[in-house]
């Protein structure tokens, strides 16, 4: 039995993990999926929220989705963690403010390049087109209804001086219209020096491919 700690992305809530959590619990695992603060809070306070939710649980696999990649390594650096997993994650560099990540990584150019290939689907302003295109419509609409406007901690430098000494995995979504696959393959190679695993889904894999995602997560702890 393992404890999977599931950290949601920006403007999202813990509910986004409910299908994956169900798969993992059915297989006997413990799942911790907290809501991060929606008021002004620092990344360190985000990590505090997660650590408080973990409590005394052990045998941890920490999973950070999208902007959650700025929080997950902070947790892994502070408490014993078996595996750190980033899902379509914004891989930070030591001292890099999240505000600077977009320019530093060349995200805009990568999305424009992919948009030219797919007829404007990548980076589309409609969330149903850009983020939820492969999520069942009723589920997508519920996710949008539950979404929120967070005051994100993006201006201050990412506080770690180096990546935590933890086994790190990356799951790339091949149909992602927000973080194109080609872009993330390069970023993961440059910043983590690893080859990502891949899942055939858009950016919201926890909703579009929960069973397949849970299977990949479980494969890391076998």
Mean pLDDT of all residues in 41-50 = 96
pLDDT at 1 over 90: no
- Looking at residue 181, what is its pLDDT? 98
Model pTM greater than 0.95? yes
Q: Which helix (H) or strand (E) covers residue 168, if one does?
A: strand 167-173
Count structural domains, the chain.
1
Residue 30 burial (CB count, 10 A): 17
pLDDT at position 208 is: 98
pLDDT band at 62 (very low <50, low <70, confident <90, very high): very high
- Per-residue model confidence (pLDDT) at position 99: 97
Coil, helix or strand for 93? coil
Which structural domain, as residue segments, surrounds residue 35? 3-219
Residue 39: per-residue pLDDT: 78
The answer to whether 147 and 173 have CB atoms below 8 angstroms apart is no
Average pLDDT, the chain: 97
Q: What pLDDT score was predicted for residue 150?
A: 84
Look up residue 16 and give its two tokens: 């986004």
> What pLDDT is stored for residue 183 in this prediction?
98
- For the cut 90, the answer to whether the pLDDT of residue 143 exceeds it is yes
Nearest C-alpha neighbor of 32 from the set 74, 71, 63, 70: 63
Tens of pLDDT, residue by residue over 101-121, are 999 999 999 999 999 999 999
Is the pLDDT assigned to residue 26 strictly greater than 90? yes
- Residue 34 pLDDT > 90, yes or no? yes
CATH number at residue 40: 3.40.50.1820
Residue in 139, 197, 171 with CA at minimum distance from that of residue 19: 139
Strand order in the sheet with 30-32: 30-32, 3-7, 60-65, 83-87, 167-173, 197-199
Provide mean pLDDT across the span 50-57: 97
For residue 80, what pLDDT band results from cuts at 50, 70 and 90?
very high
Residues near 117 by beta carbon (within 8 Å), at least 6 away in sequence: none
> Is the pLDDT reported for residue 146 higher than 90?
yes
């Amino acid at each position: 039995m393992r404890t999977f700690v599931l950290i949601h992305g920006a403007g999202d809530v813990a509910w986004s993990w409910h299908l994956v959590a169900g798969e993992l619990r059915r297989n006997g695992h413990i799942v911790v999926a907290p809501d991060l603060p929606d008021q002004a809070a620092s990344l360190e306070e985000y990590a505090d929220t997660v650590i408080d939710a973990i409590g005394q649980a052990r045998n941890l696999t920490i999973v950070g989705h999208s902007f959650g990649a700025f929080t997950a390594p902070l947790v892994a650096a502070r408490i014993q963690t078996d595996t750190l997993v980033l899902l379509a994650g914004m891989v930070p560099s030591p001292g890099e403010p999240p505000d600077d990540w977009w320019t530093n990584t060349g995200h805009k150019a990568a999305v424009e390049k992919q948009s030219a290939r797919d007829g404007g689907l990548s980076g589309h302003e409609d969330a149903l087109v850009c983020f939820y295109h492969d999520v069942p419509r009723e589920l997508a609409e519920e996710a949008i209804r539950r979404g929120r406007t967070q005051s994100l901690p993006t201006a201050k430098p990412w506080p770690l001086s180096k990546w935590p000494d933890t086994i790190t995995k990356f799951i790339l979504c091949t149909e992602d219209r927000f973080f194109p696959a080609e872009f993330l393959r390069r970023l993961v190679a440059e910043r983590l020096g690893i080859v990502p695993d891949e899942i055939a889904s858009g950016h919201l894999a926890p909703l579009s491919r929960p069973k397949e995602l849970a299977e990949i997560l479980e494969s890391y702890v076998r």
